[in-house]
Amino acid sequence: MLLAKLQERTQGRIDSNLISVLADFDNDTWIFFDNVKDVLFGIENWKIIDSVMDVVEEFSYDLPIGANKSKTKTSKLATL
């Protein structure tokens, strides 16, 4: 299904470079793509995604953001 969508997006021009990249994917990568395919197929402007990734890559892993921050607040509330 993913390969068919790639063929559709490239108008049937799946070259040896694309095949080489796809051949390097392991089973976990295919499972990941299968789970997020609807999100990926819905992206119309990849330049926006690239801009977001540039900012996210600048975050320090020591910052209390995301899941770690939530866990800290949750554990503090649980002790009350």
35-78 tens-digit pLDDT = 988 888 888 888 888 888 887 777 666 656 555 555 454 444 44
Which tokens sit at 50? 């690239």
- Round the CA-based radius of gyration of the chain to a whole number and report it: 19
> By three-state DSSP, how is residue 58 classified?
coil
Q: Please, are residues 6 and 40 in contact by the beta-carbon 8 Å criterion?
A: no
Question: DSSP string spanning 14-47?
Answer: --HHHHHHHHT--HHHHHHHHHHHHHHHH---HH
| Eight-class DSSP state of 62 | T
pTM of the model: 0.41
